[in-house]
Amino acid sequence: MVMSRTFKGTLVIALPVGLLFIAILGIATHGFVIGATHLPLKTEPSQNTEDISRLSLYRIPDTLSFCGERMPLEIPDVRQRMEQTFYVELSDAQIILDLKRSTEYFPYIDQKLRDMNLPTDLKYLPVAESALRNLVSYRGAAGLWQFTPETARHYGLIVNNYVDERYNFRKATDAALKYLTDLDSTFGSWSLAAAAYNMGSAGVKESLHYQMVKSYYSLYLNDETAHFVFRIVALKQIMSHYRMYGFDLEPSDFYSPPETKLVVVTHIYNLAAWAKQQGSNYKELRELNPWLISRSLPEGTWAIQLPKYAQPSVFAGSPPVVEGLTDTITTTETANTPLIYRVKMGDSLIRIADNYGVTVSDIVEWNDLGHRKELRIGEKLKIFTHGQDTEQ
């Protein structure tokens, strides 16, 4: 956490050296008073402005709200929690990265909120949950919206050994907004809906019943959930008025979403080879599609993002070897046709993999071998190479 500091003390050294040290210290400390000349001051600045902490220049507005619900700042505990959260968020360098990342994700979220007639404040919920990153929590929640596997599946997201759509930003956003809509219908309050999103619906219901209260601001909750709505409101206030709080970012400082195109496929047996054939590479494929968590895609209909500039390769004659592999996927119609290898005496997975320029894990995955290492003589194995379908 980055915060300005005030240095005090007596310099028991020679006067010239001491004066030089004070001058340097004044310049360094002054650097933390960002944009102080055009900001609302909590108190009148003293003559020695370099001694004023940057955070002391700001205070929370007299009126704050979440999704149209007024925050009862007249309650001392509520105001104290709001101030505490506000100063923590304001002093954290993470807020700069939140701002920079927002231009990658907010446009889509804003559009979905308009389409569903939902409060715009909800776009700050994933900032509070994940700082707009694909994180995994200690409870197994994942993605920008921090879905647990069970909730993700309930709202139509695929989570298995090949695909985890909690990392598909657009699909996860659609699911999260449906979930929040359901929570608001259940609790009749957006603040309670946000708390339930963070803590779990059952936990909030039980807390309301046991404590015999109806408001989020009257509930005694775990520390994370007790500050969750406050964090969203603090992030909304700072990110909506970032220049007022001294963050002088230029338009060029914000991150731009990559220019991509969608390619629809039915299955892919080797993602690295397929990406190469599409004029991209495995790193770009995984970065643009973090929901791909295996080296292949099973049967289905999948929309994959690729760089806009990527152009599929067209080979004449025998295709070249691609990074040591012989899989040359050119179209979804002819791609991924296997040859069938009949296991002979003395064969092993390592020997067969080396012979065809693939990996042992590829063969295990293509043939659903699981943890089995022993091969049976006469057993047939699928090997994806040049689109041939023969027995050997």
Does any domain span residue 390? no
Q: Which residue has the tokens 């929309």?
A: 303
State the chain's mean pLDDT as an integer: 82
Q: Residue 322: which region, alpha, beta or left (left: phi > 0; alpha: psi -120 to 50)?
A: beta
Same domain, 35 and 83: no
**Tens-digit pLDDT profile for residues 21-46:** 444 444 343 333 333 333 443 444 44
pLDDT band at 143 (very low <50, low <70, confident <90, very high): very high
Q: Which residue has the tokens 């039915």?
A: 266
CB 190 within 8 A of CB 181: no
CB 315 within 8 A of CB 183: no
pLDDT band at 69 (very low <50, low <70, confident <90, very high): very high
Out of 253, 271, 289, a domain closes at 253
C-alpha closest to that of 177 among 106, 123, 105: 123
**Tens-digit pLDDT profile for residues 72-89:** 999 999 999 999 999 999
How far apart (Å, rounded) are the C-alpha atoms in residues 31 and 25? 10
Q: Which residue has the tokens 């309670």?
A: 192
Helix spans in the chain (H): 15-30, 76-91, 94-116, 125-130, 149-154, 169-187, 190-199, 201-211, 223-226, 228-240, 271-277, 282-288, 349-356, 360-366
Tokens found for residue 17: 């050296």
Residue 303 pLDDT greater than 50, yes or no: yes
Same domain, 46 and 102: no
Does any domain span residue 274? no
**Tens-digit pLDDT profile for residues 171-230:** 999 999 999 999 999 999 999 999 999 999 999 999 999 999 999 999 999 999 999 999
Tokens found for residue 18: 């001491």
Does any domain span residue 313? no
373 Cβ contact list (under 8 Å, min separation 6): 349
98 Cβ contact list (under 8 Å, min separation 6): 127, 131, 132, 235, 239
Same domain, 241 and 93: yes
**Which residue segment(s) compose the domain that 373 sits in?**
338-384
Question: Mean pLDDT over residues 317-335, rounded?
Answer: 32
CB 261 within 8 A of CB 306: yes
Same domain, 229 and 83: yes
Looking at residue 124, what is its pLDDT?
98
**Tens-digit pLDDT profile for residues 220-278:** 999 999 999 999 999 999 999 999 999 999 999 999 999 999 999 988 989 999 999 99
Same domain, 205 and 240: yes
